[in-house]
Amino acid sequence: MVCVTEIPDDRPLSPDELPERLMEVFALVGPLYRRVQRKIEQDAPAQGLSVGTRAVLDLLREHGPMTVPQLGRAQSLSRQFVQRMVNDAAGHGFVETIPNPAHQRSSLIHLTEAGRTAINTAVTREHALLRQVGGDLTGDEVDSCVRVLGRMLELFGDVEVTGTPPR
């Protein structure tokens, strides 16, 4: 368990304090991501969803049809890796390709009814799990967390995405 140092006031952190506090965030985000990934993979056989396939379906559920390059950019993943996830999803009947009026060579990936059912089932299961977080978290605290993580993501926005993600 990582010990998080709490500063009781709401003053902006100094340039000397900020890096140390943000390292606390990194120390939590990595293990959290890997545990969530393992949990999704544990449930995958029942659903037919790998972590990558689930991410593709969720993006399509949220944003509608997208191209493979768009899916890759949205997830900071290589086009090749996303293509494998799309192929896996298509193999399960979760997605299909449809013509892209904006670009003849880059088809749109479209969520099928089976895909919509699969991702909705996964999201419902995940929401039930997340209800167990408990505690006294407020909307402001969650907003702050999202703001901090968003800022950190922006900081690394110029990092080139190539190859496949580490497993």
Could you identify the residue written with the tokens 């993600």? Answer: 165
How far, in whole angstroms, is CA 123 from its chain's centroid?
12
Instruction: Mean pLDDT check: name the lowest of 7-16, 20-29, 56-65.
Output: 7-16
**Per-residue confidence (pLDDT) for residue 117, from 0 to 100:** 95
**Three-state SS letters, 79-106:** HHHHHHHHHHHHHCCCEEEECCCCCCCC
**Per-residue confidence (pLDDT) for residue 116, from 0 to 100:** 97
Model pLDDT for residues 17-48, shown as the tens digit of each residue: 999 999 999 899 999 989 988 887 787 666 77
Q: What pTM value is reported for the model?
A: 0.78
Taking residues 64-85, what's their average pLDDT?
94
Q: How far apart are alpha carbons 89 and 7 in whole angstroms?
A: 45
Query: Phi and psi dihedrals of 13, rounded to 5?
Result: -75, 145
